[in-house]
Structure 1
């Protein structure tokens, strides 16, 4: 399972860290956010080092749909109501500037990354009022937006909100170019952070500033981001012989679908679900059914999935990791808008480290917590997390591996302990602990991707127990 971007770029292999080093800034995470932050700081003449537990752009950057847009679902009407017009304007201005900054870098570096200016649409099949309210809010904030009633989709809509002059590109072609002159250590996992020190398996890095850009923050305390976010997964098909829709589209309904073209392919996305809630599988099959209904002659060329960090108020956390550690920074919680949020992160953290003024700090500050806006989501997250902590302690009836069918996985009683068992198509058995090494939640089987996923905080592991996604930083191999 690979995305359409995977074969489009070839990153130069980097060595793992094997000694103690010093630098001005160390950035943990070599995805879009980490590399953009490094690129900007490197351009300013600072000595920057990037480390990644795997390889360059090996995480969710590789699985994005790569839309560069300030249209983040229906957010501006909510922002105005919950945070006021000024803070909502900060959010809008930051994301519109992010689009311009991408184009500026692409033009300056002469990057062939299939950058195209496209309009973005959020549409509804039923709810006109929400779209109209969002349009009014967007215009109030100075966004070039308009309502339309006809779009290039193979079904009728009630209304859509069109944001003009947005963009799309190939993210790996872009990163291949901007990472060329950066100092990057691959397969270098950060295992601890202490004031001005990042400890890795291969050596220690002393730095004046430390940036955590690991998708989900790996340091639990301070910050407590595991209490302020959860993770969700969404699925994508790349279809040949489908339509050129000349734009980027997203349903305002969470159960709806998104569309955008890349060259001769149509990217169809949807089936959003909380990480750890795909035990029976079928996410790709749902998309395939929709694809055949909407585009009967289409042929599937690629399929993949991505994981998104969802904050309590749907605004990213960008800035100081905690005011207790003034040289530690974080960029996380991008929801489904990783491309513009990565650039916003780069602009903000670059200005913070260089001590420049920045107009967007307040709305994105991790220090915020609006109780009135966030209590409902917080209560929901705490309930789900508590349920899964309790599940770890419940005894299950005695079982045996024979009940697991070939090609399937499940939880059984194994040697007196809960174990996650996957039996491949040849009958070979792989058993792992079901206890997430992050904070002890019980892992759930993901039948579509053959992984063990944590419903509490989104850590993921392959069926052999190898680490796939943070916030966990270790595998399951030593836990059985």
Structure 2
């Protein structure tokens, strides 16, 4: 079966198991309160929060909702961070590490609340996360990480003699989560439609000009005039140097494998040198590569 939304010959499990809505392109100049560039998880969540606050919202995307990073994620929701809290505290201080944890935890709570309030069936489930040592790593890494985490107040994280998969020393992070990102995104689109927001697909933005009035211009010359704009793309489209010159371009992959139910306990597993990876639930996944 050909992938429904192919990108360079690969497709994610989420893209293969969800029919996303599509939206017509912008064909005329319009005015609104807030213009959002990017119809992924961040853009559509921001749009819903704004329309709930009584704002008029227009969302523009160069493709269609879910065709970017949101549709090709490992779909784990973690308040544990890849670069480790101990490293963040070393560079920026313990308070910055605490704020990073709080912001990630709040984001998970937000997704859970929206899914509940909007009745979005997106397979949201709370899971434990496990951070384990690779064979050649110093056990002191976990000790430093736990001390930092307890130091800024997240006392629910515990040290364990072994994780449930690889049977190695680990830290257990409670209240992590997983969900189906495109089912969630489709629910956001439906909620936005009910609340009067306008979404335009296949509409590439060429420029966002600030000032007393923000003017967002598409590559076809259409303009959206607004009081504010949010650029919610993976990489900003309105700045050529400040961020792009500091970014490293690379691609990562996740592979889904069929495993017998009960062999791998649900949860998130990772090492200090690799991102946390969401393990399979009791529902087997087809092998697919995602970027």
TM-score calculated relative to the size of structure 2: 0.86
Unaligned runs of 5+ in 2: 1-9
Distance 1:220 1:70 in 2: 29
Corresponding position of 1:249: 269
Q: Secondary structure at the match of 1:80?
A: helix
1:193 aligns to 2:204 (yes or no)? no
Partner of 2:57: 48
3-state SS of paired residue (1:239): coil
- 2:131 touches 2:276 (CA, 8 Å); kept in 1? no
Offset at residue 239 of structure 1 (A): 1.0
CA deviations over 1:42-75 (Å, ceiling 9, x no partner):
1111011110000111011111011111011352
Which residue of structure 2 lines up, in the alignment, with residue 145 of structure 1? Answer: 157
Kept after mapping to 2: 8 A contact 1:92/1:141 = no
Contact persistence 1:28–1:190 (CA under 8 A): yes
> SS of the residue aligned with 1:179?
helix
Runs (5+) with no aligned partner, structure 1: 267-300, 307-480
Distance 1:227 1:26, change over 3 A: same
CA distance in 1, matches of 2:172, 2:276: 16
1:8 deviation in Å? 2.6
Deviation at 1:137, TM superposition (A): 0.8
CA distance in structure 2 between the aligned counterparts of 1:86 and 1:220, rounded to whole angstroms:
29
Q: Distance in 2 between matches of 1:11 and 1:55?
A: 9
Q: RMSD of the alignment, in Å?
A: 1.8
**In the alignment, structure 1 residue 227 sits paired with structure 2 residue 245:** yes
Structure 1 residue 257: Cα displacement: 7.7
Aligned partner (choices 171, 174, 190) of residue 181 of structure 2: 171
Structure number with larger C-alpha Rg: 1
1:153-195 residue CA offsets vs partner (Å, 9 max, x unmatched) = 2x442x2111112111111111111111241100000012222
Distance 1:98 1:13 in 2: 26
Question: Is the CA contact 2:157–2:172 (under 8 Å) kept in the aligned structure 1?
Answer: yes
8 Å CA contact retained: 2:72, 2:290: yes
Greater relative contact order (CA < 8 Å, ≥ 6 in sequence): 2
Partner of 1:258: 277
Extract structure 1 runs of 4+ deviating beyond 6 A.
none
More strand by share: 1
Query: Residue 231 of structure 1: SS of its match in structure 2?
Result: coil
